[in-house]
Amino acid sequence: MSDTNPTPSPSSVPELQERLRAEGYLAGRGLATAAFIGLRLGRPILLEGEVGVGKTELAKCLAEIHGRELIRLQCYEGIDTQQALYEWDYARQMLHVRALSARELNDSETTASLYGADFLLERPLLQAIRSGGNAVLLIDEIDRADDEFEAFLLELLSDFQITIPEIGTVAAAERPIVVLTSNRTRELHDALKRRCLYHWIGFPSIAEELDIVRLRVPDVADTLVEQVVNAVHQLRDMDLAKPPGIAETLDWVDALGVVGSDNLNIETAADTLGSVIKDRDDLELVHAELDRVVADG
Amino acid sequence: MPNSTASLPMADPSELPGPERIVDRLVGFGHALRDHGLPVGSDDVLTFCAAVAELSPGDPNDVYWSGRTTLVHRRDHLPVYDEVFRTYFLHVPPPNADSPQEERPVPQGSTGTLDVPDSEPGDEPGDEQPLILGLQASSVDIQREKRFATCSPEELAHLRRIMARIRLEPPTRRTRRRAPDPGGPVIDIRRMARDAMRLSDSNPALHRMDRKLRARPLVLILDVSGSMADHSRNLLQFAYSMRRAAQKVEVFCFGTRLTRITPALDRRSPDDAMRLAAARVLDWDGGTRIGASLDHFVRTWGRRGLSRGATIVICSDGLDRGSPALLADSMERLQRLSHRIIWMNPLIGNDVGASPNTLGMLAAGPFIDELASGHDLASLEHFATHLADIG
């Protein structure tokens, strides 16, 4: 992935949709417009939406169509600058200090060498700034990180430059494409949202989802795809604790393929339900009404 | 939403002759949104104009989507955005002409006085509860607005003490982040490397660190139904002080439905906060459906992670008119989604150790980690003091 060869951005929304489609990603007009504006204005794109509707996938496809490297920062509770930005390789530095002091080298040049590129461990954000126009930076599940990290990110996203005290300021020659995703486990700060273009991705309509499944798993019979998509839409209407996303629909189609079934009926649905419903209470509820889910589908 | 706009009549392109006119229209749209309560900043409008410039300003679809992505920052605002867009660009009259949603007239004349007993002896003149009936009345719940008058000096003193206690000893949890700590279990190699370089010391001292402590999130779920009418004022005051004092506090109220009142409690003055919070809750002193309300909480807020690692405090007498099975189910889920569940039941009174035998309490019982009383401000103050231990 390192020897990437960036291609220019699409010049219109339909072109962007077309090129995303070629990568197997169906973007609606709204999502494509948001992404297009983000690309044109060099603004980060913040995607919120239900689990499994393709937030992360968009960043991957944007990287593909631009021939750029995807740099992913998975956020988690307690993430700090050392894991996100850069860290010095302390163990190696200490060994080096030992070696230097054994040889009694003490001039400024050897001291400076301690803070050279050899000892710097680049983390995703620094990598993205260094790669600049060759990168798509995906900051995944930003809502999982804590407030301190969000504040830090705010600074980074406005200037795309950071200062490493021992080395100096590193600035991105060209802004990378930035995509942030959030599952809304908590409300993000307005300041961060204001830096970004916002788009909410909802569940697709039946027709859209049929297109998506056909595009992603082309060699599955149309009747099966229709049955599965209809059944998933039934499930989404059922007031479940965790309604299935598009990812689950695709998993279900795959699972049915693995067990070699080309028809969704009560037995095959019961056997493969674990690929769509991932909550015990939901499973019980769905099992009780499986005939309705499948029959209507 | 894309479909609905696409099918609407297009704006007349001749209406947008020169670039200045277009910018005027776009900026005007920003103002219109602001008039309808959306927080649209000047920088947002700038971005909006820049975005439209990249697309075609004559196409309502482009204008719609670029506005939606630049001027709206949260999902809840989307319906308002859609409505303003329709009236402003597509000249479709709003459902109820020129009155924004927030200012929908409240039916007058149905105001009466209900003798809801107040827990405080000092009966201030404003303490009666004017009702507004029939806003969304159904056979199930009678919706009323409860008005809390100004706090008495005594109450204010209690509130201040609760805040002070919570500030002193908030419930905490360990985070994944580390901070220097001489007795900690992890070696801080970063500091040691720095020392080694700075002091050129071949045997640097051991630095240690340990995981930091942080405030644990607290979720208050308050029962404001008829049977709890005596306590709702206290509970709301308690919620206000907790919200002001601790870092991560979310407050919900329920009778027959669940309402989030956290934003209302952020007012500096307790009277304002109380008034705003009271106005938000529409089912004061009605029936109780604990199961359905908790279920709603688990499905919308709990699922998103609001209660993860949090101490949940449910304040209710457990007199439920809904199904006990639903209550037990939602409590079980809630227990799995949170750190601890504390149930404050005013029926316990001062008799600590008593367990009220209402059906609701029996259903919820197995999932409660701690029972507390909280029947007046003094006991709530006591509760606040010990929250750090039980939480």
Angle (CA) B354 B355 B359, round 5°:
155
**A174 and A70 within one domain:** yes
Chain-chain contact of A78 with B78 (C-beta, under 8 angstroms): no
List, in sequence order, every residue forming a beta bridge with B172; answer none if it has no partner. Answer: B215
B169 falls within a domain: no
Predicted local confidence at residue A105, as pLDDT: 67
Predicted local confidence at residue A32, as pLDDT: 93
User: What are the tens digits of pLDDT across the range A98-147?
Assistant: 787 777 766 677 777 778 888 888 999 999 999 988 999 999 999 888 87
* Option in B51, B175, B306 nearest A78 (CB): B175
pLDDT, mean of residues A88-103: 80
User: What are the tens digits of pLDDT across the range B239-268?
Assistant: 877 777 777 788 888 877 788 888 777 777
A230 falls within a domain: yes
Range from A215-229, B134-148, B283-297, B299-313 that averages highest in pLDDT: A215-229
pLDDT, mean of residues A82-104: 82
B132 falls within a domain: no
DSSP state at residue A175: P
Calculate the CA B6 to chain-centre distance.
35
**B336 and B233 within one domain:** yes
Predicted local confidence at residue B363, as pLDDT: 76
A47 falls within a domain: yes
Task: Tell me the pLDDT band of A66, cut-offs 50, 70 and 90.
Answer: very high
CB atoms within 10 A of CB B107: 10
Query: A108 touching B, CB under 8 A?
Result: no
Buried (b) or exposed (e) across A177-205, using 16+ Cβ within 10 A? bbbbbbbbebebeeebbbbbbbbbbebbe
Predicted local confidence at residue B201, as pLDDT: 61
**A140 and A62 within one domain:** yes
A231 closest CA partner among A167, A187, A185, A275? A275
A21 falls within a domain: yes
Selected for mutation to probe chain A from B52, B68, B69, B334 (highest A CB count within 10 Å) is: B69
pLDDT, mean of residues B293-306: 79
* Option in A77, A242, A281 nearest B176 (CB): A77
* Option in B1, B75, B304 nearest A185 (CB): B304
Residues in chain A within 8 Å Cβ distance of B299? 239, 241
Chain-chain contact of A40 with B299 (C-beta, under 8 angstroms): no
A65 falls within a domain: yes
Domain end marker among B102, B123, B148:
B102
Distance from CA of B166 to the nearest CA of A (A): 21
pLDDT, mean of residues B292-313: 80
SS3 label, residue B13: helix
pLDDT at position B15 over 60: no
A152 falls within a domain: yes
**B264 and B205 within one domain:** no
**A101 and A213 within one domain:** no
Residue of A nearest to B48 (CA): A37
**A292 and A231 within one domain:** yes
pLDDT, mean of residues A138-160: 86
Task: Tell me the pLDDT band of B351, cut-offs 50, 70 and 90.
Answer: low
**A268 and A214 within one domain:** yes
Residue of B nearest to A32 (CA): B65
Distance from CA of A295 to the nearest CA of B (A): 27
Predicted local confidence at residue B170, as pLDDT: 65
Task: Tell me the pLDDT band of B124, cut-offs 50, 70 and 90.
Answer: very low
CB atoms within 10 A of CB B96: 10
pLDDT at position B296 over 60: yes
User: How large a percentage of chain B has pLDDT more than 70?
Assistant: 70
Pairwise CA distance, residues A51 & A34, whole Å: 19
* Option in A78, A94, A143 nearest B196 (CB): A94
**A267 and A245 within one domain:** yes
Pairwise CA distance, residues A144 & A65, whole Å: 28
pLDDT at position A15 over 90: yes
pLDDT at position B98 over 50: no
Predicted local confidence at residue A229, as pLDDT: 92
Range from A157-166, B104-113, B381-390 that averages highest in pLDDT: A157-166
pLDDT at position B1 over 70: no
Residues in chain A within 8 Å Cβ distance of B72? 198
Selected for mutation to probe chain A from B62, B64, B65, B248 (highest A CB count within 10 Å) is: B65
Residue of B nearest to A148 (CA): B177
Predicted local confidence at residue B116, as pLDDT: 34
Chain-chain contact of A200 with B189 (C-beta, under 8 angstroms): no
Predicted local confidence at residue A46, as pLDDT: 94
DSSP state at residue B389: H
Residues in chain A within 8 Å Cβ distance of B197? 93, 97, 111, 114
B352 falls within a domain: yes
**A65 and A96 within one domain:** no
Residue of A nearest to B62 (CA): A33
For A:212-231, CB contacts with B below 8 A are none
The number of domains in chain A is 3
pLDDT, mean of residues A209-215: 91
Predicted local confidence at residue B371, as pLDDT: 79
Query: A110 touching B, CB under 8 A?
Result: no
**B199 and B293 within one domain:** no
- Given a contact cutoff of 8 angstroms between Cβ atoms, the answer to whether A45 and A35 are in contact is yes
Calculate the CA B37 to chain-centre distance.
18
Instruction: Please give the mean pLDDT across all residues of chain B.
Output: 72
Residues in chain A within 8 Å Cβ distance of B209? none
Residues in chain A within 8 Å Cβ distance of B66? 33, 37
Predicted local confidence at residue B362, as pLDDT: 76
**A228 and A289 within one domain:** yes
Residue of A nearest to B202 (CA): A98
Predicted local confidence at residue B120, as pLDDT: 37
B121 falls within a domain: no
Predicted local confidence at residue A63, as pLDDT: 93
**B88 and B62 within one domain:** yes
Task: Tell me the pLDDT band of A179, cut-offs 50, 70 and 90.
Answer: very high
Predicted local confidence at residue B107, as pLDDT: 39
pLDDT, mean of residues B294-307: 79
CB atoms within 10 A of CB B208: 16
**B221 and B206 within one domain:** no
Domain end marker among B102, B132, B163:
B102
More confident residue, A151 or A176: A176
B337 falls within a domain: yes
| Domain coverage including residue B95 | 2-102
**B339 and B241 within one domain:** yes
What residues of B are in the A interface, CB distance below 8 Å?
1-2, 39, 41, 43-44, 47, 50-51, 54-55, 61-62, 65-66, 68-70, 72-75, 78, 175-177, 189-190, 192-193, 196-197, 200, 202, 298-299, 303-306, 308, 329, 333
Chain-chain contact of B69 with A34 (C-beta, under 8 angstroms): yes
- Given a contact cutoff of 8 angstroms between Cβ atoms, the answer to whether B238 and B380 are in contact is yes
Residues in chain B within 8 Å Cβ distance of A80? 177
**B86 and B36 within one domain:** yes
B159 falls within a domain: no
Task: Tell me the pLDDT band of B167, cut-offs 50, 70 and 90.
Answer: low
pLDDT at position A37 over 90: yes
pLDDT, mean of residues A43-57: 89
pLDDT, mean of residues B343-356: 68
Pairwise CA distance, residues B366 & A5, whole Å: 61
The number of domains in chain B is 3
Domain end marker among B102, B128, B143:
B102
Predicted local confidence at residue A35, as pLDDT: 93
Task: Tell me the pLDDT band of B202, cut-offs 50, 70 and 90.
Answer: low
pTM: 0.68
pLDDT at position B9 over 50: no
User: What are the tens digits of pLDDT across the range B205-233?
Assistant: 788 888 887 778 888 888 887 777 777 77
Chain-chain contact of B73 with A37 (C-beta, under 8 angstroms): no
**B258 and B205 within one domain:** no
Task: Tell me the pLDDT band of B3, cut-offs 50, 70 and 90.
Answer: very low
**B244 and B97 within one domain:** no
pLDDT, mean of residues B128-155: 46
Under 8 Å CB pairs connecting chains A and B tally to 112
Predicted local confidence at residue A7, as pLDDT: 80
Tokens of A247: 């990812």
Domain end marker among A201, A223, A243:
A201
CATH of the domain at B316: 3.40.50.410
Predicted local confidence at residue B166, as pLDDT: 62
B107 falls within a domain: no
pLDDT, mean of residues B115-123: 36
ipTM of the modeled complex: 0.76
Chain-chain contact of A33 with B73 (C-beta, under 8 angstroms): no
Chain-chain contact of B73 with A106 (C-beta, under 8 angstroms): no
Query: A207 touching B, CB under 8 A?
Result: no
Q: Range with the lowest mean pLDDT among A39-53, B67-81, B272-286?
A: B272-286
- Which residues, at least 6 apart from A105, have a Cβ–Cβ distance to it below 8 Å? none
**A248 and A197 within one domain:** no
Query: A199 touching B, CB under 8 A?
Result: yes
- Given a contact cutoff of 8 angstroms between Cβ atoms, the answer to whether B115 and B130 are in contact is no
**A112 and A140 within one domain:** no
| Domain coverage including residue A105 | 86-117
Pairwise CA distance, residues B98 & A5, whole Å: 55
**A229 and A105 within one domain:** no
pLDDT at position A259 over 60: yes
Calculate the CA B353 to chain-centre distance.
32
**B97 and B72 within one domain:** yes
- Given a contact cutoff of 8 angstroms between Cβ atoms, the answer to whether B274 and B156 are in contact is no
Residue of A nearest to B308 (CA): A185
Query: A104 touching B, CB under 8 A?
Result: no
Predicted local confidence at residue A288, as pLDDT: 86
**B367 and B260 within one domain:** yes
Distance from CA of B285 to the nearest CA of A (A): 28
pLDDT, mean of residues A246-265: 87
A7 falls within a domain: no
B124 falls within a domain: no
Predicted local confidence at residue A33, as pLDDT: 93
User: What are the tens digits of pLDDT across the range B268-282?
Assistant: 777 777 777 777 777
Chain-chain contact of A30 with B65 (C-beta, under 8 angstroms): yes
**B374 and B225 within one domain:** yes
Predicted local confidence at residue B103, as pLDDT: 38
**A149 and A287 within one domain:** no
CATH of the domain at A52: 3.40.50.300
